[in-house]
Amino acid sequence: MPKIDGSYLIARTLKEENVEKIFYLMGGPNYEIVNNSEDMGIDTFDFRHEQAASMAAHAYTRVLRKPGVTTAASGPGTLNLLTGQYNAFVDCAPMITLGGAGPISDFGKGGFQEIDQVSIFEPVSKCVIRPTDPRQYPEEISKAFRIATTGRPGPVYIDCNEDILYDSLSESEVDFPNSSQTVPLPKTDLDLIKKTAELLAKSRRPLILAGGGAWWSGSENELSRLVDSTEVPFYTTPMSRGLLPDDHQYSFPGARSTAFRECDLVLVLGTRFNWVMTFGKRINPGAKIVQVDIYPDEIGNNRPVDIGIVGDVRDVLVKLNDEISNTNADVNTDVRQNWLEYLKNIDFDRKKKVFDLENSSQTPIHPLRLCKDLRDFMDRDAILVVDGNEILHYGRQSIPTYYPGHRLNSGVTGCMGVGLPYAIGAKIAKPNKQVIALHGDGSLGMNIQDFDTAVRHSLPMIIVVSNNEGWTARIEGVRKPGRELGFTRFDLIAEALGGYGELVEQPEDIIPALDRASNSGVPAIVNVHTDPTARALSKFVGSKME
């Protein structure tokens, strides 16, 4: 009987776990993981930098709600995956990371690229695994997928040591477990569901806040049913944006700060009271809080709650919707309509305040004019990635999202450099969708080398650069060391790497340039010279949180 090795067992198990794509940078000892995966029919995408590979795998995970898989060579190669792993960990994204590692037999001897990768990855992983026998790979890889995707999701790191990967054996020596099984959901307390329905009915100024838990649970249909039946305005975190379309009749993004400051009840669905929500202090101190989370330790963390429900968001919403439809509780419709009208008017006033800037003919171009033209150009179901500082804040309320999983940014970590890799991962996940990354010039410089990856793998996308010549906005008379970057010709870099590039300096040229980029059929960079002094103040773009 022919011999196999650990690399083959990893690839076979990945195939059995329905993995379709792998994101990687080649090197030892992970060559054969990739070779065997290709033999199994798995598509592989090689990158210029491991960080970009990991970030692309994270975006793939975010868009499809299924684990992306990434791998890299030992030592510095695997350590370059760390920032992407950190982003996935904070996002609770079920990514699988296969870190190439030196031989276990060389540990403690000063072996080539020897470092304790397991200990380094442990703080940013839901679980870390180091198999010590190739026979363990099928069970441990399958377990990694089960751990990553159940409960509160998260990335799993697996140390793949050279001597274990290359150890040969007969296939008859290996036990192959069944593909990972779904773990039962926590049992929802129906009495708490009933109390929540009663609070919603009695509330005069209620809100719904949907976060990552609502996204990962696939709750968009149940959330829509709840919002439509109760007429409660809703807000989302960056992760869950698009669960309901931004132009929904009960969506008032421009009134976010007022809504949280004046509400009397918030139904919090699968999100944390972290810095984005000012640790819960953003919400009216007198408001009642109902918090739903699959992770018990998150209930009441940083802000006391009136009702805490441990459960999967979708499962909870199914039961809550049923309770509401069965009880037909009396709601003061006049009061509820006054609340909706109040928020609607504030939202409208905010939009009026930015009208002049969105239609400005100034040069250098105002970033809000760029956002407005991009908004007009985009397909309704486009996937938009936003990465940077000023442009991230400008884009939040000026460019809407209508479909779940079609809006990506750095989220809670605030990590710059994710835009281009996220766009690559998103295009691989949904090749038939229009993918656009709106970048600051500083953030694009971090992973610009992987524009070549998009070209090599024929991934047409548009990178739109709000190029304000540096980090943050320039303030006259205020010294900011390192702020100035000069005007980088990213359009020429795109051409040099085999893509399409165009420089835009006049506002009326934005949409024609976007059309030409789209029609080029190759990855494109539209490099827009924007006002270096334009600052994304809250009076223009609302609060820090999406």
What is the pLDDT, as a whole number, of residue 546? 33
> Based on the domain organization, do 469 and 362 belong to the same domain?
yes
What is the pLDDT, as a whole number, of residue 540? 40
What is the pLDDT, as a whole number, of residue 347? 94
Rg (CA), the chain: 24
Structure tokens at 294: 């699959």
User: Is there a contact between 183 and 150 (Cβ–Cβ < 8 Å)?
Assistant: yes
> Based on the domain organization, do 463 and 533 belong to the same domain?
yes
> Based on the domain organization, do 404 and 310 belong to the same domain?
no
How far apart CA 492 and CA 525 sit, in angstroms, is: 9
Name the residue with tokens 């990178």. Answer: 463
> Based on the domain organization, do 334 and 372 belong to the same domain?
no
Flag whether pLDDT at 6 surpasses 90: yes
CATH code for the domain in which residue 134 is found: 3.40.50.970
CA distances from 156 to 41, 72, 92, 141 (A): 23, 15, 11, 10
H or E element, residue 170: strand 168-170
- For residue 123, whether the previous peptide bond is cis, meaning omega lies within 30 degrees of 0, is no
What is the pLDDT, as a whole number, of residue 110? 86
What lies within 8 Å, CB to CB, of 379 at 6+ separation is 433, 434
Helices and strands of the chain, counted as H and E runs:
23, 19
CA distances from 477 to 474, 480, 532, 533 (A): 9, 10, 14, 12
Q: Give 336-379 as a DSSP string.
A: HHHHHHHHHHHHHHHHHHTHHHHT---SSBPHHHHHHHHHHHS-
> Based on the domain organization, do 134 and 265 belong to the same domain?
no
How far apart CA 293 and CA 312 sit, in angstroms, is: 7
DSSP β-bridge partners for residue 384: 407, 436
- Strand segments, DSSP code E, in 199-253 are 206-210, 234-236
What is the pLDDT, as a whole number, of residue 514? 98
- pTM comes to 0.94
User: Is there a contact between 119 and 140 (Cβ–Cβ < 8 Å)?
Assistant: no
> Based on the domain organization, do 330 and 376 belong to the same domain?
no
Which sign does the torsion angle of CA 173, 107, 10, 33 carry?
negative
What is the pLDDT, as a whole number, of residue 544? 35
Residue finishing a domain among 297, 325, 350: 350
User: Is residue 184 situated within a structural domain?
Assistant: no
Flag whether pLDDT at 543 surpasses 60: no
Local confidence band at 179 (pLDDT 50, 70, 90 cut-offs):
low
| Summary mean pLDDT of the chain | 93
User: Is residue 546 situated within a structural domain?
Assistant: no
User: Is residue 178 situated within a structural domain?
Assistant: no
Query: pLDDT tens, 232-241?
Result: 999 999 889 9
DSSP β-bridge partners for residue 98: 71, 158
User: Is residue 183 situated within a structural domain?
Assistant: no
CATH code for the domain in which residue 338 is found: 3.40.50.1220
**b/e per residue 23-51 (b: at least 16 CB within 10 A):** bbbbbbbbebbbebbeeeebebbebbbbb
What is the pLDDT, as a whole number, of residue 133? 95
Flag whether pLDDT at 135 surpasses 50: yes
- For residue 138, whether the previous peptide bond is cis, meaning omega lies within 30 degrees of 0, is no
Flag whether pLDDT at 539 surpasses 70: no
CB atoms within 10 A of CB 257: 16
> Based on the domain organization, do 311 and 369 belong to the same domain?
no
Query: pLDDT tens, 454-472?
Result: 999 999 999 999 999 998 8
User: Is there a contact between 278 and 303 (Cβ–Cβ < 8 Å)?
Assistant: no
- For 520, which DSSP code? T
> Based on the domain organization, do 8 and 136 belong to the same domain?
yes
> Based on the domain organization, do 227 and 127 belong to the same domain?
no
- State what percent of residues in the chain have pLDDT above 90: 82
User: Is residue 217 situated within a structural domain?
Assistant: yes
Sheet holding 307-310, edge to edge: 234-236, 206-210, 265-269, 288-293, 307-310
- For 450, which DSSP code? G
Query: pLDDT tens, 393-439?
Result: 999 889 999 999 999 998 888 899 999 999 999 999 999 999 999 99
User: Is residue 486 situated within a structural domain?
Assistant: yes
- For residue 29, whether the previous peptide bond is cis, meaning omega lies within 30 degrees of 0, is yes
Flag whether pLDDT at 147 surpasses 80: yes
> Based on the domain organization, do 453 and 491 belong to the same domain?
yes
User: Is residue 47 situated within a structural domain?
Assistant: yes
Flag whether pLDDT at 545 surpasses 50: no
DSSP β-bridge partners for residue 528: 466, 504
Q: The domain containing residue 524 runs over which residues?
A: 354-541
Name the residue with tokens 């609502």. Answer: 214
How far apart CA 160 and CA 491 sit, in angstroms, is: 40
Flag whether pLDDT at 511 surpasses 60: yes
In total, the chain counts a number of residues equal to: 546
Structure tokens at 26: 């080649």
User: Is residue 203 situated within a structural domain?
Assistant: yes
Nearest to 489 by CA among 459, 517, 469: 469
What is the pLDDT, as a whole number, of residue 181? 63
Please give the torsion angle defined by the CA atoms of residues 468, 470, 471 and 473, in that order, rounded to the nearest 10 degrees: -50
Residue finishing a domain among 140, 173, 206: 173
> Based on the domain organization, do 165 and 223 belong to the same domain?
no
Number of folded domains that form the chain: 3
Query: pLDDT tens, 79-128?
Result: 999 999 999 999 999 999 999 999 998 888 888 888 999 999 999 999 99
CB atoms within 10 A of CB 265: 22
Q: Tell me the three state secondary structure of residue 79.
A: helix
> Based on the domain organization, do 330 and 390 belong to the same domain?
no
Residue finishing a domain among 116, 146, 173: 173
How far apart CA 218 and CA 223 sit, in angstroms, is: 10
